[in-house]
Amino acid sequence: MITMLEAIRQALHDELASDEKVVLIGQDIGDFGGAFKVTQGLVDEFGEQRVADTPISESAMIGAAIGASMVGLKPVVEMQFIDFLACGYNQLVNFAGKLRYRLGQGASLVVRGPCGAGVSGSAFHSQSPESTYLCVPGIKVVYPSTAEDAYGLLRSAIQDPDPVLFLEHKFLYRRIKGEIGKGPIPLGQAAVRRRGNGLTVVTYGACSHTAQEVAEQFGDQVEVIDLRCLQPLDEACLFESVKRTNKVVLYHESQKTLGVGAELSARIGEQLFEYLDGPVTRVAAPDSPVPFSPNLEKFWLPGAEQLAQACQKLLAY
């Protein structure tokens, strides 16, 4: 059994070992091992040419990765905190995301790093910005919740011919453990974490664990689907579940307004309206920055109590 952090490190190691085109770049990822020690020890085995420290410039890091990908390399860029991806927004969105559409050649790169709240990181170190990038054509968005998924999905992301944003919830890094598989897990396949017949909870990331805990309170009434990949989305798995249960709760940590749940709600309303026996329900964070105070942050996070109340209300509808 290994932690999610160790699974990510193992995925990076195995891709470096199996493909000499894979390179890692980022701030302090060499001798220091990265802000969370994800890359610890990799520079000793693979050298500074393949595990390269960079200046503190997210725009330069992603720009360098785009150039490296165009000459045949497969760069993996580490953000110390995914919040600072905003500093490289132009490079990721207007260059990496559009490269295949402009030139017919994709940018085979991964941008990965820690996201999410729950560790008193405050407003600049706690964001879950996935919905910001879901509307960008050409970028895949992956958000694992287990050690096994982190390992397998990261290997697939590195092998993908187009840019992938790989989000790692920092609260899970050292808190969950699991066995890792022997190879990649295909992108775009959701996982049914728990079967039920009364309603479907659709979630991902750290919220997947809370959803499973809450589902236990309702016996066999609540089904839990872990999306794992937000783009490409496993619409078939999601729709099949909602058609059976006829009710759905969309649960995520990012803000409610224009969050992932908003898009899923629109798709369900457009395509599954006749199957619904209750309103599509969203449980998400309020539209505010993440508080620093542990008590305020706990209040801000959409937790088990809030999800349980939403499930109870919808089941009784």
Count Cα neighbours of 86 within 13 Å in the Cβ-side half-sphere. Answer: 11
C-alpha torsion sign, points 190, 196, 200, 203: negative
41: left (phi over 0), alpha (psi -120 to 50) or beta: left
Quick one: CATH architecture of 2-178? 3-Layer(aba) Sandwich (3.40)
Going from N- to C-terminal start, the domains of the chain cover: 2-178, 191-315
Q: Report whether 157 contacts 125 (CB < 8 A).
A: no
Q: Report whether 82 contacts 167 (CB < 8 A).
A: yes
* Active-site residue, 13 included: no
247 Cβ neighbours under 8 A, 6+ residues apart: 198, 199, 200, 276, 277, 278, 314, 315, 317
User: Tell me, what's the pLDDT at 285?
Assistant: 96
Which two structure tokens, joined as six digits, stand for 244? Answer: 């059976």
Q: Order the strands of the 248-255 sheet from edge to edge.
A: 191-194, 222-226, 199-203, 248-255, 281-285
Active-site annotation holder among 13, 125, 209, 252: 125
- Using 50, 70 and 90 to split pLDDT, how confident is the model at 181? confident
User: Tell me, what's the pLDDT at 202?
Assistant: 98
Diameter over CA atoms, the chain = 60
Question: 3-state DSSP call for residue 7?
Answer: helix
Rounded Cα–Cα distance for residues 185 and 207 (Å): 21
- Model pLDDT for residues 258-315, shown as the tens digit of each residue: 999 999 999 999 999 999 999 999 999 999 999 999 999 999 999 999 999 999 999 9
Rounded Cα–Cα distance for residues 148 and 2 (Å): 9
- Model pLDDT for residues 188-218, shown as the tens digit of each residue: 999 999 999 999 999 999 999 999 999 999 9
- Model pLDDT for residues 127-144, shown as the tens digit of each residue: 999 999 999 999 999 999
Q: Say yes or no: do domains 2-178 and 191-315 share a fold.
A: yes
User: Tell me, what's the pLDDT at 125?
Assistant: 95
For domain 191-315, give the CATH number.
3.40.50.920
Map tokens 């790989």 to a residue.
166
Is the pLDDT confidence value at 182 over 90?
Answer: no
Peptide bond into 161 cis (omega under 30): no
